[in-house]
Structure 1
Amino acid sequence: MKKSHWFFLGILLAHLSLADELTLNASQSKTLGIVSAPLPAKQQGELAGMPAQVVIPGNQLFTISTPLAAMVEQTLVGVGDPVTKGQALATLQSPALAEAQRGLLQSSTQAQLAKENLARDEQLWKDGIISESRYRTTQSLYREASAAFAERKQMLRLSGMSDADIVRLQTDNMLSSQLTLTSPINGVVLEKTASAGQRLDAAIPLFKVAKLEPLALEIQAPLASTRELKVGASVTVPAYGAKGKLTAIGRSLSGGNQTILLRALIADGASNLRPGQFVEATISTSGTSLNQWSLPNGALARIGNKVVIFIETANGYRSEEVTVLHEGANNSVITSKLNGNEKIAIRGVSALKASLMGIGGQ
């Protein structure tokens, strides 16, 4: 600070009242670089500037993996491509698939034979030609063969074959080692982890496909800010024209920054957001919420464990303690017993803070 600044600061200290009011005229304020501005519009009923991350709702994200050990023959889509339900994503060559098909045909034949044996023995038992125990044994063998056939059929379904393909296999008896992976939903390819010619074991992820509308927000909120929040409250992302509803309020605090995790579902304007993106969200609160204002961080002065602002008066400035509900990168949301028509210092606050600390003899 220049010598002239220290001179005027000395004058200020000489004119301080016991009510934490700093007496100075317009010339002194200008010399100290103090600038005032009207208090911004009140934000009653909303919590603004909350840090949030855009995420994909869990029920809209799918991972497509190799059902059997196979070699990638061809990939048909790339990252960012839109896909429809049932669209082919890649073709694979899998000897294990041919083996599974052979097992199905074999179990199908055994199940059919067991069914015929059961029908024959049932008639013989009714005619009194065979004992009931033999009939029960034949019945048990039929059930075992049917269960084995159902198991083989389910294995082929998990391998990517449709019911129509399985029926065709039983009719034509034509084995094939080609396996086609398809999309389970209408969505967008987010990840692709394999390329043509690559050999893979079973259950290796190849694609991630997601539905990107609606999207979700994970919001970190201070505990004190969540008292007036309710599930169903309106949530907006003003910078991107997106809005939705609050769907969940966490019950536990995070260990590092002692915040509560909030979740919101964004239905309107979700196309303006991207998964993984960091944004600032505004949440509406209940009608009993405190009066709130969004102030530039430069207007706040921290003295010990208190935060104060400086309100312009007829004779200079007076300090007013405020409560910070949320501190952002540039602005902070505060609450206080203000009328809303005050003018506050937004620049030169450090000089006023130094004067105020001089009152207490610090």
Structure 2
Amino acid sequence: MATPRKATPRKATVKPVIPRKAAARAARTPDPRRAELRQRLRQQTRRALIGDGPAVGIDIGGTKVAAGVVDGEGRVVAQLRRVTPTTSPQGVEDTIAEIVEEFARDHDIVSVGIGAAGFVDAERSTVLFAPHLAWRHEPLREAVERRVRARLGRRVGRRTVVENDANAAAWGEYRFGAGRGESRLLCVTLGTGIGGGIVTSGSVQRGRYGIAGEFGHMIVVPGGHRCECGNRGCWEQYASGNALVREARELARANSPVAHRLLDMAGGDPEAITGPLVTEAARGGDPAATELFEDVGRWLGIGIANLAAALDPGTVVIGGGVSDADELLLGPAREAYRRTLTGRGFRPELRIARAELGPQAGLVGSADLSRGWG
């Protein structure tokens, strides 16, 4: 008789015991992909509710308020311009309400987007700080909506949002300008200062607190020129419209023989030298003006190389008034970028392109973002 086989005992499977508190924490831990999907669904729902009808875009700069009615294809169908009352937040709010009221008379406005030159909170409602304007924790969205209701007896559009002006310009270029088709875009706007915007995979990157993209306040020269933000040596003190004019006036005040053409064009008054005047002189072949643009372009290229090291974009779009100089500025910038780029020769180079929307980029982007994009 065969002896029955002894059954081999099964190895017990030990399941890890997760404490209840840890399990609850894990359940609450946000999944970045899920959060991104929820954000996209919210945007799609908002866009469906608001639609692609005419939206108001307002670009508040250090010296001017430019505004327009923008259709769903990014075309500006009506436009207004006002001087920025920089010493009075209430004055700016009244100006914006005036503009919205005027546009609402002739257009069925679906939303309002306000691009402000300053730090805007993550709720896209309050201007926390504006170096070139008299705003500190200014609840701009609420103030404008209140003033519009007081004027018209109703709200205008389904939604009002406040954006950083450079974020708005970046979005405008991404959707309708030089950044079309680029999945990793940076926009650098050279005006009174330097603004910046980041667009990645169809979304504006605003940062944890809404303040991402303030490239102009990266310190490139410790202890350098004083900046309106309170620091010294910020990038915008070397590669902006203010930097260009400051250096041109210093040359003229010193009675440098190379500055005679600039002084002649300014009627002999160094203080009458402006950015557009320097651009005109450079286009006419003036050596001093050309050299000034080479200096600003060199600083621009160095800053772009730093941004490439940190963010690795595919395209950097250069906008703002100083970009009107085109290759007088961008040629030296590309050269300095290539010479300064980390790992040069062993990595792809990004594309540096001039903005296509010109001075309308900010208002076009603000209007489009107010519909629920970005």
Query: Shorter-chain TM-score category?
Result: under 0.3
TM-score normalized with structure 2 length:
0.19
TM-score normalized with structure 1 length:
0.19
The structure having more radius of gyration, on CA atoms, is 1
Higher relative contact order (CA 8 A, sep 6+): 1
- Identify, as 1 or 2, the structure richer in strand: 1
